[in-house]
């Protein structure tokens, strides 16, 4: 059983408890404006061009048999509508300016790499985190990785947008020790505008996993102009207040912005400034008012 991933990030301390290996899987069914992993959006390879690394040698242009590459005033222009993602240009690029994002890998190989750090998981209370992208879009692959990890007593966590069929969630419930799920806003219309989908199914699935005794962290990325108002955060608190979940408010930052340009994507948040620590603290106080436990970290 194989699947498509972008990378396995070892020694992560931001993807669940303890020291973890985060496996970033390709393919996502949402298009959140503030996404900082747009290289995981497509369930396919994606060609990345980093202008700052480019030596202007034009070796890539000579290698591309279908003339999808050309020079422009400041570097290389990619005609992405023609590119077949063959990867030949990336093989001749001497500086790593052109790279193909994506690796087709067996589930056993993922677990082989992850278990190299098993000693750190045991010491720190960490384990594996499947992230993305949306891991449940590669359900059989995800299931296989989690089953193998369970057999080796590695703690399993998953970051899911929950915009999937309940059957997919049901299939994973026995294999996931910790679910980390975004509750971005309660209002379906706003959710649809900024992510591409309404949130009815997400909230239904959120309640479903909790009712099935799953351990859940609800995460709210706080995005200026989208959900950074008192009203919006209060409505999330009202959903969560009586549920046995821990919550995290994650402050919007701009670190992933360069990737949009490098992948030929439009960044709809390009004008936004990072959320200030002060504003995040103010909103965090609302969670305290509702007796909801939160942590304080950046996305
Ligand atoms: S991936 Fe292949 S088709 Fe696309 S630009 Fe590179 S060489 Fe050309
Ligand atoms: S091969 Fe690499 S370094 Fe040379 S022009 Fe193309 S992208 Fe730039």
Query: Does the pTM of the predicted model rise above 0.85?
Result: yes
Nearest CA, atom 2, ligand 2: 93
* Substitution candidate for ligand 1 out of 54, 59, 68 with most atoms within 8 A of CB: 68
Q: Is the CB of residue 47 below 6 angstroms from any atom belonging to ligand 1?
A: yes
pLDDT in tens, 132-177: 999 999 999 999 999 999 999 999 999 999 999 999 999 999 999 9
* SS3 of the chain: CEEEEEEEEEEECCCCCCCEEEEEECCCCCCCCCCCCHHHCCCCCEEEECHHHCCCCCHHHHHCCCCCEEEECCEEEECCCCCCCCCHHHHHCCCCCEEEECEEEEHHHHHHHHHHHHHHHHHHCCEEEEECCCHHHHHHHHHHHHHHHHHCCCEEEEEECCCCCHHHHHHHHHHCCEEEEECCCCCHHHHHHHHCCCCHHHHHHHHHHHHCCCCEEEEEEECCCCCCCHHHHHHHHHHHCCCCCEEEEEECCCCCHHHHHHCCCCCCCCCCCCCCHHHHHHHHHHHHHCCCCEEEEEC
pLDDT in tens, 83-138: 999 999 999 999 999 999 999 999 999 999 999 999 999 999 999 999 999 999 99
CATH of domain 46-101: 3.30.70.20
5 Cα: distance to centroid of ligand 2 (angstroms): 25
Query: What is the position in ligand 2's atom list of the atom closest to the CA of 95?
Result: 3
Stretch 184-204: mean pLDDT: 96
* Substitution candidate for ligand 1 out of 46, 61, 69 with most atoms within 8 A of CB: 69
Stretch 201-207: mean pLDDT: 97
- Whether 298 has a pLDDT exceeding 50, the answer reads no
pLDDT in tens, 42-57: 999 999 999 999 999 9
Q: Is the CB of residue 98 below 6 angstroms from any atom belonging to ligand 2?
A: yes
pLDDT in tens, 232-287: 999 999 999 989 998 999 989 888 899 999 999 999 999 898 888 899 889 999 98
pLDDT of residue 294: 73
Q: Is the CB of residue 50 below 6 angstroms from any atom belonging to ligand 2?
A: no
pLDDT of residue 275: 87
The residue extents of the domains of the chain are 2-43+105-298, 46-101
pLDDT of residue 295: 61
pLDDT of residue 178: 97
| Mean pLDDT estimate for the chain | 94
pLDDT in tens, 11-67: 999 899 999 999 999 999 999 999 999 999 999 999 999 999 999 999 999 999 999
pLDDT of residue 35: 94
Percent of the chain with pLDDT over 90: 87
- Whether 296 has a pLDDT exceeding 60, the answer reads no
Return the CATH fold of 2-43+105-298: TIM Barrel (3.20.20)
């Amino acid at each position: 059983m194989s699947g498509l991933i972008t990378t396995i990030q070892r020694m992560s301390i931001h993807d669940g408890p303890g020291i973890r290996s985060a496996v970033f899987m390709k393919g996502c069914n949402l298009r959140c404006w503030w996404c900082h992993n747009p290289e995981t959006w497509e369930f396919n390879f994606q060609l990345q061009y980093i202008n700052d690394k480019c030596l202007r040698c034009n070796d890539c242009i000579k290698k591309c048999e279908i003339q999808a590459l050309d020079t422009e005033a400041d570097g290389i222009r990619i005609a992405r509508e023609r590119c077949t993602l063959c990867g030949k240009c990336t093989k001749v690029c001497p500086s790593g300016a052109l790279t193909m994002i994506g690796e087709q890998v067996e589930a056993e190989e993922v677990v082989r790499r992850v278990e190299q750090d098993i000693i750190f998981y045991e010491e720190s209370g960490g384990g594996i985190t499947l992230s993305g992208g949306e891991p449940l879009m590669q359900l059989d692959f995800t299931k296989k990785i989690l089953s193998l990890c369970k057999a080796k007593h590695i703690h399993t966590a998953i970051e899911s947008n929950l915009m999937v069929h309940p059957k997919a969630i049901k299939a994973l419930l026995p294999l996931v020790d910790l679910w980390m799920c975004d509750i971005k806003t309660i209002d379906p219309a706003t959710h649809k505008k900024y992510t591409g989908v309404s949130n009815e199914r997400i909230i239904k699935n959120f309640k479903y996993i909790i009712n099935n005794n799953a351990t859940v962290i609800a995460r709210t990325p706080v995005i200026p102009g989208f959900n950074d108002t008192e009203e919006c955060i209060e409505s999330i608190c009202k959903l969560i207040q009586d549920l046995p979940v821990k919550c995290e408010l994650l402050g919007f930052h701009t670190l992933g912005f360069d990737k949009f340009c490098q992948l030929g994507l439009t960044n709809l948040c390009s004008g936004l400034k990072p959320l200030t620590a002060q504003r995040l603290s103010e909103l965090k106080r609302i969670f305290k008012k509702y007796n909801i436990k939160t942590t304080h970290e950046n996305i």
